[in-house]
Structure 1
Amino acid sequence: MLPVKQFIDFIAHNKLFNANSKVLAAVSGGMDSVIMVNLLKAAGFSFGIAHCNFQLRGNESDSDEQFCRDLAQQLDVAFHNIRFDTLQHVTAHKVSTQMAARQLRYNWFEQIRQQHGYTEIALAHHQNDAIETILLNLTRGTGIAGLHGILPKNGLLVRPLLFLKRDDIQQVIEQGNIAYAEDNSNSSVKYARNKIRHQVIPALKELNPALEQTFESNLKHFRELEQLLDIRIAQLRGELFIADNNDFHLPLAKIKTLEPKHLLLYNLLKPYGFNETAMNDLIASLDKHSGRVFEATDYKLILDRDKLILTPNKQQSNAQVSISLNDTEADYGSYKLNLLHDDSPLIVKNNPMAVSIDTKLLVYPLTLRAWQQGDSFYPLGMKTRKKLSDFFIDQKISLHDKSEVPLLVNGNGDIIWIGGYRPDDRYKVTADTKKVTIFELFKRI
């Protein structure tokens, strides 16, 4: 007898969908998905069937496809079907067969959902699938999120069978004499999940015959712990992340007081692509000299004197810009540089974003670039050379900001101007100057 009431109660309790929903049911033909669509039909929900033929088992794959087509006709619901060249996807994307099948089916499910107006995608996972997932995650390494197992609802993906164990489903199939398509690959221990299903879980059930009930209780605790952590992380993000244009500044003094430091830092920075290894390296560097940079794919963390700077990785396609004699402007990163040639020895004052340079000293082409280790110049008013790294320290320019400062470099390699800060004394306008070139920087907003 179909457990229709428990099915409806589970859907309502977990807010998976409602009477007005139009559900796309993913059906392989196995007994789990067959029970799911029979329950959907008996409960009166509107749904259609989606079946993927991965063409991995020859005639068996085609037979499963035909079974699902017949099942949809029997239940009088829409049938959506696709055939994938799974092995070609494996080769092209260098992933495992299982990962290829996962990527292909979920992408296609979403396409069908949008094209045909389905509101949710129903998957036939049950309690034993959740246990297998947790054990898999533990063997591969996981955080708290990997311990909550399979969630009843994850976005538009819903799992209305999570109230059932595999034995429950088997019993309903046998009592109702319900036909299904058996996938012989499910019995192979070649795949990690099947090895856990057929070898590990039976051994665990010898130790604890009520394994499913125990895991169900554990799952509840793990989900509550995850919710508690999420609340704490949201609170900390509001306290620690100080917005500065496109960057965030995190005060080091507060970072050092976090406990447990690794857990909190990892979850704070995980959304930006940083892994646990990066967090270990960061924590080990907190009490050392500033200057360390930790890279993720899209972001980097800069350990500055009194803060961590979280900033997007920027393309450096314009890291060096050449300026010819006839140019009147140049673009460099977030800056625009204007050039003006004047026949009078005009000196720009009280504007750090502009500078007057003796034209006769310029050697073209000039270059706009970022600073490099070893750079030095003669700051205006000084007759001795100074390293740029020391100049930046004196000016209290952060590690992140100094990489954004444009340097105007002469054709002979001399630094003419630290854009926005200080010109070189050797290129200043003097009483002997006949003609000046005025350079003015504008910061793009």
Structure 2
Amino acid sequence: MLPLQSFTEYVRQHALFGPDHKILLAVSGGKDSVLMVHFFKQAGFNFAIAHCNFGLRGVESQRDEDFVRLVAATMEAPLYITHFDTKAYAAEHKISTQMAARDLRYNWFEELRRTQQFDCIAVAHHQDDAIETILLNLVRGTGIAGLHGILPKRNYLVRPLLFLSRKEIDKLISANEIRFVEDSSNLSAGYARNKLRLDVVPRLKEINPNLEQTFARNIERFADTEIILQQRIAAVRLEICEERADGIYLSLEKISALYPRRLLLVEILKDYGFTEIVTEQLLASLNKLSGTSFYSSTHRITVDRTALIISRITEEVYAHQMIHPADSVVKLGRQLIGITFTEDVTFESNSDKAFVDHDKLIFPLVLRNWQRGDRFMPLGMKNLKKVSDFFIHQKVPQPQKENIPILINGNGDIVWVAGLRQDDRYKVTSTTKKVAIFEQKFN
């Protein structure tokens, strides 16, 4: 027998969905998602099943699809199946295969929810998944939101099995003789999450046998703390932000009075795509010359004399392209910039190339056109120089100025005026351990 009362009480307590709702179940064929199907069937909820075939495990992927077809037929549930070329998507978007699979499946689930009018999407995460997510976030670096891990409900996504641990799921599967298929990749230590699952969590349970229950309580505390933080952020945003026609102005005087300044500004600026590292670099520049700019993929922050000015990046203003560590080539207009990394610390005198100390770069970088007010420190000099004055000294024709790519670090510094001169602050030195080489090409 399944603990239906515990299941329905968890659903009710967290207001996941109601008896009249139509729910889409994400089912891989593994024990967690198949058990979720049995809970929904026995509880009498209205549901359909969705299965993704990512084409990553050959015969095993087809076996999973065939099994889910059998589950849907047995449960008399509507079934939706799709196939993805996951590796091609990962290569096109320059992301890992795992991230590609995540993007593809959740985008498809959301499309089904909208087109087929489902009230929510149910996934079969459990307590151990929540623990692994928190640990993974801590290892990689996280804010308060990362500490509560995965929540029972976020927008249209619900997780009705978070009241169960992996051990409890195993017992229910065995006691009720529920068939499932095993994903062999779950047993591989090649993935970061699996390393935590197979190596780290068991050691933590030796220290605290009730680890799942402890983390469940911690998650509730962290979630409550985030609510309080967001209330504080909302109040600060009203206090220091002023919306004008040319952007959003944040008073420098009011920023200086914030406490804790870094945390509050990080939370405010992340809504505009700025990372914590860029925000810290921005704070460090507040007492320097005004006119410095910082970039996210969607916005620019300019440090003015009395305010930070946040403006949206548009193609009408200037062409721009973000550069991430995995990129090997980026395009700006008719020009291509090739990117390679090497631990062979060399340098050659070639204006079409920039040899940059990798450890001084803050990603994402920005490749864009020249803007009035740009300054940099030409290689061999010790003072900042206006790029416009540098163009005059180099006798660059006015029409050509607009087409010269400018490479910008994540902190707003110019790293390279492509085809002309790189910045002295980012040159290769005797202490350089890794070199980033940027090469100008023409399409």
TM-score > 0.5, shorter chain as reference: yes
User: Amino acid of the residue matched to residue 33 of structure 1?
Assistant: S
**2:19 is paired with a residue of what secondary structure?**
coil
Residue 98 of structure 1 is matched in structure 2 by 98
**1:310 is paired with a residue of what secondary structure?**
strand
Q: Compared with structure 1, are the counterparts of its residues 301 and 196 closer, same or farther at alpha carbon in structure 2 (3 Å cutoff)? A: same
TM-aligned CA deviation for residue 280 of structure 1? 1.3
**1:118 is paired with a residue of what secondary structure?**
coil
Residue 135 of structure 1 is matched in structure 2 by 135
Per-residue displacement from partner, 1:329-388 (whole Å, max 9, x unpaired)?
A: xxxxxxxxxxxxxxxxxxxxxxxxxxxxxxxxxxxxxxxx986689xxxxxxxxxxxxxx
CA contact (8 A) 2:291 2:373 kept: no
The structure with the largest alpha-carbon Rg is: 1
Residue 110 of structure 1 is matched in structure 2 by 110
CA contact (8 A) 1:49 1:77 kept: yes
Residue 158 of structure 2 is matched in structure 1 by 158
Q: Counterparts of 1:300-319 in structure 2 under 5 Å? A: 300-316=300-316
CA contact (8 A) 1:36 1:161 kept: yes
Structure 2 Cα separation of the partners of residues 21 and 89 of structure 1? 33
Structure 1 Cα separation of the partners of residues 186 and 371 of structure 2? 58
Q: Compared with structure 1, are the counterparts of its residues 373 and 126 closer, same or farther at alpha carbon in structure 2 (3 Å cutoff)? A: closer
TM-aligned CA deviation for residue 142 of structure 1? 0.9
> Normalization by structure 1: what TM-score?
0.70
Per-residue displacement from partner, 1:302-341 (whole Å, max 9, x unpaired)?
A: 222222222222435689xxxxxxxxxxxxxxxxxxxxxx
CA contact (8 A) 1:256 1:286 kept: no
What number of residue pairs does the alignment pair up?
A: 328
Per-residue displacement from partner, 1:211-256 (whole Å, max 9, x unpaired)?
A: 1111111111111111111000011111111111141111111100
Residue 261 of structure 1 is matched in structure 2 by 261
Q: Compared with structure 1, are the counterparts of its residues 172 and 253 closer, same or farther at alpha carbon in structure 2 (3 Å cutoff)? A: same
Q: Cα RMSD (Å) of the superposition?
A: 2.2
Residue 238 of structure 1 is matched in structure 2 by 238
Q: Counterparts of 1:294-373 in structure 2 under 5 Å? A: 294-316=294-316
User: Amino acid of the residue matched to residue 143 of structure 1?
Assistant: G
Structure 2 Cα separation of the partners of residues 42 and 49 of structure 1? 15
Structure 2 Cα separation of the partners of residues 318 and 10 of structure 1? 52
Per-residue displacement from partner, 1:83-133 (whole Å, max 9, x unpaired)?
A: 222222222222211111111111111222222221111000000000001
Structure 2 Cα separation of the partners of residues 372 and 214 of structure 1? 55
**1:160 is paired with a residue of what secondary structure?**
coil
Per-residue displacement from partner, 1:21-73 (whole Å, max 9, x unpaired)?
A: 10000001111001111111111110001111112222221111111111111
Structure 1 Cα separation of the partners of residues 5 and 318 of structure 2? 64
Q: Compared with structure 1, are the counterparts of its residues 173 and 258 closer, same or farther at alpha carbon in structure 2 (3 Å cutoff)? A: same
Structure 2 Cα separation of the partners of residues 17 and 147 of structure 1? 25
Residue 203 of structure 1 is matched in structure 2 by 203
User: Amino acid of the residue matched to residue 176 of structure 1?
Assistant: N
Consecutive unaligned residues in structure 1, runs of 5 or more: 320-368, 375-388, 390-445
Q: Does 1:188 align with 2:188?
A: yes
TM-aligned CA deviation for residue 297 of structure 1? 2.1
Residue 342 of structure 1 is matched in structure 2 by none
CA contact (8 A) 2:34 2:180 kept: yes
Residue 366 of structure 1 is matched in structure 2 by none
Residue 72 of structure 1 is matched in structure 2 by 72
**2:49 is paired with a residue of what secondary structure?**
strand
User: Amino acid of the residue matched to residue 87 of structure 1?
Assistant: K
> Normalization by structure 2: what TM-score?
0.71
Residue 396 of structure 2 is matched in structure 1 by none
Q: Counterparts of 1:209-288 in structure 2 under 5 Å? A: 209-288=209-288
Q: Compared with structure 1, are the counterparts of its residues 88 and 289 closer, same or farther at alpha carbon in structure 2 (3 Å cutoff)? A: closer
Structure 1 Cα separation of the partners of residues 317 and 128 of structure 2? 52
TM-aligned CA deviation for residue 201 of structure 1? 0.4
Of stretches 279-288 and 162-171 in structure 1, the one that deviates more from structure 2 is 279-288
Q: Does 1:26 align with 2:26?
A: yes
Q: Compared with structure 1, are the counterparts of its residues 307 and 66 closer, same or farther at alpha carbon in structure 2 (3 Å cutoff)? A: same
User: Amino acid of the residue matched to residue 220 of structure 1?
Assistant: E
Of stretches 90-99 and 206-215 in structure 1, the one that deviates more from structure 2 is 90-99
Per-residue displacement from partner, 1:379-430 (whole Å, max 9, x unpaired)?
A: xxxxxxxxxx9xxxxxxxxxxxxxxxxxxxxxxxxxxxxxxxxxxxxxxxxx
Structure 2 Cα separation of the partners of residues 215 and 286 of structure 1? 40
Structure 2 Cα separation of the partners of residues 13 and 246 of structure 1? 46
Q: Compared with structure 1, are the counterparts of its residues 126 and 243 closer, same or farther at alpha carbon in structure 2 (3 Å cutoff)? A: same
Q: Does 1:291 align with 2:296?
A: no
**2:16 is paired with a residue of what secondary structure?**
coil
Structure 2 Cα separation of the partners of residues 96 and 21 of structure 1? 35
Residue 409 of structure 1 is matched in structure 2 by none
Consecutive unaligned residues in structure 2, runs of 5 or more: 320-369, 376-385, 387-443
User: Amino acid of the residue matched to residue 142 of structure 2?
Assistant: T
Residue 364 of structure 1 is matched in structure 2 by none
Structure 2 Cα separation of the partners of residues 61 and 373 of structure 1? 53
CA contact (8 A) 1:246 1:312 kept: no
